[in-house]
Structure 1
């Protein structure tokens, strides 16, 4: 039995099944195979995370009906052999005296079209094309947007634990003093708390006070938080290798009637977005539900970003909750629902939960209060 500190471990069989599904999905999409460079896709498919990502070629080659092959520099082969998914792989190493593209090219269909991970270095793609001018490529986000989107029970356990840790962080940050301290001071508190609650990696700690809150991606700066400020808090990272991401907006002292009204509108919009989650709904339906509320109250032009993004081994990944995204929701998908209103030069409000699609609707993985909290 697992616990929050001891999640169900992934096994070589888990990674083997992921690679098989990925190769079969590639074939169904009309691709000859997949080329996966170091990054989140490689971690998801093999459990292997190189200690250093350098100019040396490392690439996983997947094709339906063929054994997975991981091409690695010889000096990193020992590390690759210790990856959990290594028993499901054939390792092929190359030394600095060899041309890695000459080693890799024979593994590929010389006239095939391949999905290739988005973060592959251009020099590696160009190197392969020199040997295989008849090949063509599509980014994995374009070719297989659902590659990592649907989580199994063990993945959901990790994301749930990460969400609980972010919730605990929020509960604690409400106890610290805001007024008279710099945004960076509060951001440091958030990072410390995320780590104390089990995060191995802190990806972001947004603290947008007063007019800075009107910038959705404001990074904590040197501004001193004042009494009367609205403060947007957006923070998250990785716990057990899976992401957390939550936003709440607090107020230093009592809010004005307008500030309370805007917060109420965003809270209603966020509720509408979460209530729209159900199997078969399109991703854009979540955006439409949240955006309709904000537009109804006259703030439509001040909601300036998508309603949500997927989350998993990274804190931002496909699918995206945005107009034009018709991908249907299926059980196991996890994503944020985070509408906001931003009034330039004045303040902003954002409320965000991670939601997973269930068999009959959606379940929030964040449970902290969404009402406007008053801090000192």
Structure 2
């Protein structure tokens, strides 16, 4: 069971500060405001998550000419007013049979350009376009990519707790039997361990054995794990509302020389990526540092994906550690460093830690051994 104390909940003042920051950044970016529909942005800005995301419009409007306003279906208003950030909000509602877009048009101005949640339904976006003459919209990942990227101390504490819980799950899973069991069985063990150590939500448990490890997003399947396999274990979820995501590769029995060689290359690449993290460095430099090690070893074409992604209230969010991303690193940013080598039909190796940028460098939020662990 988890033995760390739960962090204090976020307050209405915390959510109000986030809303003000979001609006300020939107105006600085040349937008007229921010529109947020149900999903991670709404949770981060208000603490409110509808019990069921339906076709009924729920919309947070952050604009400079009125208080932060949450438009909700009338039947859900009571739940919304109970959210942690509700004291910082004004409320408006609409009833079944009303036109929700007409109700929302009073919150916006004709011809305005707004940032809108990536998760907004096309149904709602098209309705807003019809209701608000000349309005235009840009997804928040494009318009405000760093909105949730820089974490405060209270968010870092949650991410650290999630990472520590995932580490404990790994230390337990390497003690179970792998050989002769299906990938799905080991994946179920991992999910149970994440919950035992405090995760309220399990998002993924990748178990890629032998040739299945060469697929970076392999779903655990019915393959029976064999002696001599490498097994990629990539798992995570939410604890206290913030994400974990870690990968280790284990060997079922003693590894062959080739397996050990590939693992050593990935381990060196992962270390190089972490070593490159410091304030002011462009995100793409983390990718370049890890990729250079793999390319020098002759496996460049077998590194199939970016080196990392941001993490917070979701397990994938900006910033991204990928060629072409010139956003400089800032203290408080949190992201994965996860290079890999994937040899089709044979094996895969990936090693992943979550890190955060500090004032003078980097801090890992995962601390389990990076070596090639031997399991039974």
Q: TM-score range by the shorter chain?
A: over 0.9
Deviations 1:246-273 (A, max 9, x none): 0000000011101000000000000000
Alignment of 1:15-34 (within 5 A): 15-34=15-34
Give the Å deviation of 1:237: 0.1
Q: Which residue of 2 aligns with 1:93?
A: 93
Does the 8 Å CA contact 1:212/1:347 hold for their aligned counterparts? Answer: yes
Q: Which residue of 1 aligns with 2:307?
A: 307
Alignment of 1:125-204 (within 5 A): 125-204=125-204
Q: Which residue of 1 aligns with 2:353?
A: 353
Does the 8 Å CA contact 1:303/1:342 hold for their aligned counterparts? Answer: yes
Q: Which residue of 2 aligns with 1:282?
A: 282
Does the 8 Å CA contact 1:20/1:64 hold for their aligned counterparts? Answer: no
Give the Å deviation of 1:97: 2.3
Q: Which residue of 2 aligns with 1:294?
A: 294
Q: Taking structure 2 as the reference length, what is the TM-score of the superposition?
A: 0.99
Unaligned runs of 5+ in 1: none
Give the Å deviation of 1:66: 2.8
Does the 8 Å CA contact 1:228/1:255 hold for their aligned counterparts? Answer: yes
Give the Å deviation of 1:19: 0.1
Which whole-Å CA distance do the structure 2 matches of 1:6 and 1:231 have between them? 33
Q: Which residue of 2 aligns with 1:255?
A: 255
Number of equivalenced pairs: 374
Give the Å deviation of 1:131: 1.5
Give the Å deviation of 1:4: 2.7
Which whole-Å CA distance do the structure 1 matches of 2:316 and 2:271 have between them? 21
Unaligned runs of 5+ in 2: none
Q: Which residue of 2 aligns with 1:334?
A: 334
Give the Å deviation of 1:6: 1.4
Q: Taking structure 1 as the reference length, what is the TM-score of the superposition?
A: 0.99
Instruction: Report the secondary structure of 1:160's partner residue.
Output: helix
1:210 and 2:204 matched = no
Pairwise CA RMSD:
0.7
Does the 8 Å CA contact 1:266/1:341 hold for their aligned counterparts? Answer: yes
Q: Which residue of 2 aligns with 1:268?
A: 268
Instruction: Report the secondary structure of 1:238's partner residue.
Output: strand
1:60 and 2:60 matched = yes
Deviations 1:108-127 (A, max 9, x none): 01111000000101111111
Give the Å deviation of 1:5: 3.3
Deviations 1:60-80 (A, max 9, x none): 000135310000000100000
